[in-house]
Amino acid sequence: MELLLKDCTQVLTQDNKRNILKDIDILIKDGIITVIGKNLSTTGKMIDCKDKLAMPGLINTHNHLAMSLFKGYGDDMPLDRWLQEKIWPAEAKLDNDSVKYGALFAIIEMIKTGTTCFNDMYLSSEAVLKATKSTGIRGFIAYGMIDLDNPEKTESELKAANSFLKNFTPEENGLILPILGPHSPYTCSRDLLEKTKLLAKEKNLPIHIHVSETKKEIEDSIKDKGMRPIEYLNSIGFLDKNIILAHACHLSEDEIALIKHAGARISHNPTSNMKLATGGAMPLQKLLNAKIPTGLGTDGSASNNSLDLFGEMKVCALLHKFANNDPETASAQTVLDIATIGGAKVLGLEDKIGSIEVGKRADIILLDLNDTTMVPNHNPVSNIIYSATGACVDTTIVNGKILMENRTLKTIDEKKVIENVNEFASKI
């Protein structure tokens, strides 16, 4: 099956040289970018891309999709109280159906704002998987494990994670992949972390975990375990190249060296960190200097309250400039790299996605160059980071399949999903 993106006014390739091409066609065959050139033709579908900018789809490396149900339900609280008083009691009311609609709602928001790949960790993961499969978006899905040092729970959580893994049938295009999701070093026992590690090795799976999110977490870890969270994970043999660390805001120089040595990767969630006032900005520049793969994430809608990565990119750029009192930190190009090719590296998919290059999967978004946020076009990268929002995304393509065209969703009944989300929201 072919798809031709004809006469793209600009193509932000995000290739090694960060080339920006002009007035060019992109031919996609069976989900793969096969030719980038002039005067191409097709027997398949063609999209007129005049006054459009084609760029790689954005990659959200840390999310809890169904938390879209809790957007605006509990704001302006510290993380521990927010979880205990608002989120965990509300989550007790979830069932498979509500999680399915919560996930679909999140996917609608992602497709409409140009995100083509996500990394999810949540409960009722079978429902998330089912929802995701129906939409055509790319993603990693984890069953989030929490045992709170209860040995019975350790076993039941591992059983649930194992049973979820059985739901994955190897798909030809590898669009949706499993990942393991022990919630964090403070909600998971050492036993659960060690057994998760063994399972990851046995099944050759990556692991997605929250770590070093708040200052309190660091203080508690030093008090309870005699060491900082990354030091602890390293001491139990947990840290290696298959680990994705979400947040990692508070890192000592030694911990950065440990992450670098292990080859672990980082998901940076600036809006969630700022909203929950986690106690200081992540040392982004030090991580980038150490060449530690770093991607961007929104975290769940309950702590963001948006899944629009355009907004997240702007917050990322502003946070690090402000925190470091340095306008040259987190440049527009640096932040765009984090949200595209950086995210692909974090997820181990850099050979498949993250840039527009021949041989890569066609995860491409088209931005409307006539949208006021993209005019004037002195510098498209600047406009994307500092001016645009997800509303300038006109078309979203994943694996060569059109999921949204002219802002109309092709694979999801938006009205039905919104009705179901509102119905659940009225019950909590």
| Residues in contact with Zn ion by the rule CB under 5 A | 299
CB atoms within 10 A of CB 227: 14
Which residue number is nearest to Zn ion in terms of Cβ?
299
| Minimum distance from residue 186 beta carbon to Zn ion (Å) | 13
Residue with tokens 């091409």: 21
Structure-block tokens of residue 280:
């200081």
Q: Which is nearer to Zn ion, 87 or 393 (CB)?
A: 87
Residues 6 or more apart whose CB falls under 8 angstroms from that of 211 comprise 184, 185, 217, 229, 230, 233, 245, 246, 247, 248
| Minimum distance from residue 61 beta carbon to Zn ion (Å) | 11
| Minimum distance from residue 62 beta carbon to Zn ion (Å) | 6
Q: Which is nearer to Zn ion, 122 or 164 (CB)?
A: 122
Enumerate the H helices of 204-249 as residue ranges. 215-225, 229-235
Q: Which is nearer to Zn ion, 299 or 363 (CB)?
A: 299
Contact (CB, 8 A) for 234 and 256: no
Rounded to whole angstroms, how far apart are CA atoms 188 and 147? Answer: 5
| Minimum distance from residue 121 beta carbon to Zn ion (Å) | 7
Q: State in Å, rounded, how far the first CA of the chain is from the last one.
A: 45
| Minimum distance from residue 210 beta carbon to Zn ion (Å) | 5
Angle between helices 151-165 and 190-203 (to 10 degrees): 20
Q: Which is nearer to Zn ion, 299 or 337 (CB)?
A: 299
Residue type, 231: E
Contact (CB, 8 A) for 191 and 151: yes
| Minimum distance from residue 50 beta carbon to Zn ion (Å) | 40
| Minimum distance from residue 269 beta carbon to Zn ion (Å) | 7
Q: Which is nearer to Zn ion, 72 or 170 (CB)?
A: 72
Alpha-carbon radius of gyration of the chain: 21
Structure-block tokens of residue 318:
């502003």
Q: Which is nearer to Zn ion, 31 or 181 (CB)?
A: 181
Contact (CB, 8 A) for 51 and 370: yes
Q: Which is nearer to Zn ion, 299 or 394 (CB)?
A: 299
Q: Which is nearer to Zn ion, 48 or 85 (CB)?
A: 85
| Minimum distance from residue 91 beta carbon to Zn ion (Å) | 13
**Taking the CA of residue 233 as centre, how many other CA atoms within 13 Å lie in the half-sphere pointing to its CB?**
32
Contact (CB, 8 A) for 11 and 53: yes
Q: Which is nearer to Zn ion, 7 or 308 (CB)?
A: 308
| Minimum distance from residue 87 beta carbon to Zn ion (Å) | 11
Residue with tokens 């995000």: 14
| Minimum distance from residue 328 beta carbon to Zn ion (Å) | 30
Q: Which is nearer to Zn ion, 63 or 113 (CB)?
A: 63
Q: Is 333 exposed, middle or buried (0-12, 13-18, 19+ CB in 10 A)?
A: middle
Q: Which residues of 89-121 are buried (b: 16+ CB within 10 A; e: fewer)?
A: ebbeebeeebbbbbbbbbbbbbbbbbbbbbbbb
